[in-house]
Structure 1
Amino acid sequence: MTEYFQQVVDELEVQLKDLTYEEDNFIVCYEKAISTILKEIVGLKKYILEKGFMNEQEEILFFKRLKPVLLSKLIYYNTIYKIETKKPFGGDKTIKKYLHNELAKLKRYFDNNLDFYKYYRTNSTYLDHKYFLRGKHDIKLSLDTFYFEADHYFSTSHDYKVAKILANDLIQVYLEDQLYNTNRSKKQVPAILNWTGSKTALTELIYALHSQGAFDNGNADIKVVAKTFETVFNVDLGDFYHTFMELKSRKINRTKFIDSLRDALIRKMDELDEQ
């Protein structure tokens, strides 16, 4: 089961990364990502319902550690999609207020589920038989209303809550990055060039240069490097760390852009040699 699940996740990462390369419109990219993840979840559900579990330990593993990884991706992309499509028009003050309100929602969810956060973060196991076995829910253990409407053949009382924890971590990074961009000083060096390649490609390039120690003798912080590129090339990379993690997870051609740079440079040199 674990091997099958990892294969599903690896294939999904490739699909999501391909969407990033293909779509310049991030709203359309999010829509397609949501649809892609849903298809994988449907396939995983069919597999689990057909194969079942060997024992309770395997069932707990699936609903505590495996399914939430996939479900968290759906929650993340769906939440970011809603945040972007509902973002108000206005100046920096309006945008910052909106983003702070979204961060406050994450904080409220954390506060309302503090006990479970502690349980999960400390790798506790003494309530796993209630949290992560199907049909073992306890109404006293802070259930989300979502659970009562879920398919109980493919859900436990708290697997969705784990997925929310994983997704909220990424959503917080995304929102804080948006706030950072909004707060950037307008007195910075103006952009003289516009980056017209994909944001994923630029992220790949930035991490390659940083890994090589090309800035400040290798002492430059990756976030500072990324913000400098955003300013100089007039581009918003969004959650570039999450983009890099997706690149890292890709099993096929993880350095697609850098490889294409090398090929393009060699072609250029060959053309000049022929002149």
Structure 2
Amino acid sequence: MNDKIYTIESEATATDVLQLSEKCIKLVKDTLETIRTIVLEEDFKNTQDEIYFFKNVKPQVYSKLIYYAKLFNIESKRPRGSSKPQKKYLDYQIVRLQDYFNDNLEFYQYFRRGGTSLDLQYFIRGKDDIRLHPDNFHFFTDDKFSTSHDSTVATIMAYDMLIVYLKQEIDKLENIKGMETIIKSNQFSSKLFWTASKTDLIELIYAIHSSGAINSGTADIKEMAIICEQIFNIDLSNYYHTFVEIRSRKTNNTKFIDKLKESLIQRIEESDE
């Protein structure tokens, strides 16, 4: 599903966001239906598997459905014309999304800190206590494929991605002239090619930015990405989106950075021999 979404996003233009959303909504709905069929036919071997699925697996898929449906709604009502009313509209949408986190603060903090003590209540089917449901009606309409909070996790993930997208759009409106200057002033030919994955390079860019190693931490992440694209002859596409996926990794958020460290240590040790 993610590979197909990447293909759809890669082929879409900046003005095709509504068509892109419609295509991705259909794709995710079909994926969810396939997964639902598998779950109903095979079920889970134990409680731990069920918790893992409804806490980690289903939300990863369902969040994309929420994301693209909400994106379609936001973009279809976005004002046209000058940047000022657009920025005001996008800022308002960010505030509305953040209100959801505040309205579900207790669970939001539980999820963010990696809590597990209430997983039996939150991520097992059949826990039909109305007090456990923040605003999840899916549990009542499809209790064989929903728990009290799996859609809440998906909504948190989706809103994270939407906030990143909206901030990116605001950046575009604020930096149109500035970005044109950057691109024109840095047009040069490089014979270097990035041969690791795009995700690895994006992880590296964010690591360098976070360390404050460039401009004492005040560098624009977008400018850094553009420069890296030019140096390494690569198109990083939606790096904001990719960073959200890096941040949501369950096992290792710094996989490439760790690999770099191991490689350097090995080279140092080999040089000392």
TM-score by length of 1: 0.67
Residue 149 of structure 2: aligned partner:
158
Distance 1:240 1:138 in 2: 40
Counterpart among 133, 139, 143 of residue 134 in structure 2: 143
Secondary structure at the residue paired with 1:57?
helix
Q: Distance in 1 between matches of 2:237 and 2:91?
A: 17
Paired residues in the alignment total 215
Residue in structure 2 matched with residue 94 of structure 1 by the alignment:
85
- Indicate whether 1:242 and 2:241 are aligned: yes
Q: How does 1:1-275 map to 2 (within 5 A)?
A: 12-24=1-13, 25-147=16-138, 149-184=140-175, 186=177, 189=180, 219=214, 222-226=221-225, 239-242=238-241
Q: Pick closer, same or farther for the CA change 1:156–1:240 going to 2, 3 Å.
A: same
| Unaligned stretches of 5+ residues in structure 2 | 185-197, 206-212, 230-235, 250-273
Q: Which residue of 1 aligns with 2:191?
A: none
* CA distances 1:110-168 after superposition (whole Å, capped 9, x unpaired): 11000001111111112111111111132223431423553110000100000111111
DSSP 3-state at the match of 1:140: helix
RMSD over equivalenced CA pairs, Å:
3.4
Contact 1:177 1:238 in 2 (8 A): no
In structure 1, the residue matched to 2:193 is none
Larger RCO: 1 or 2 (CA < 8 Å, sep 6+): 1
Following superposition, the deviation at residue 186 of structure 1 comes to: 4.1
Kept in 1, the 8 Å contact 2:139–2:146? The answer is no
Identify if the C-alpha distance between structure 1 residues 19 and 189 changes in structure 2 by more than 3 Å, giving closer, same or farther.
closer
User: What is the Cα deviation at residue 240 of structure 1?
Assistant: 3.2
**Hey, what's the Cα distance between the residues in 2 that align with 1:189 and 1:175?**
20
Aligned in 2, Cα 1:149/1:135: closer, same or farther, shift over 3 Å?
closer
SS of residue paired to 1:110 = helix
CA distance in 2, matches of 1:82, 1:112: 21
Residues 113, 142 of structure 1: 8 Å contact kept:
no
Unpaired runs of 5+ in structure 1? 1-11, 193-203, 212-217, 231-236, 250-275
Identity of aligned residues (%): 40
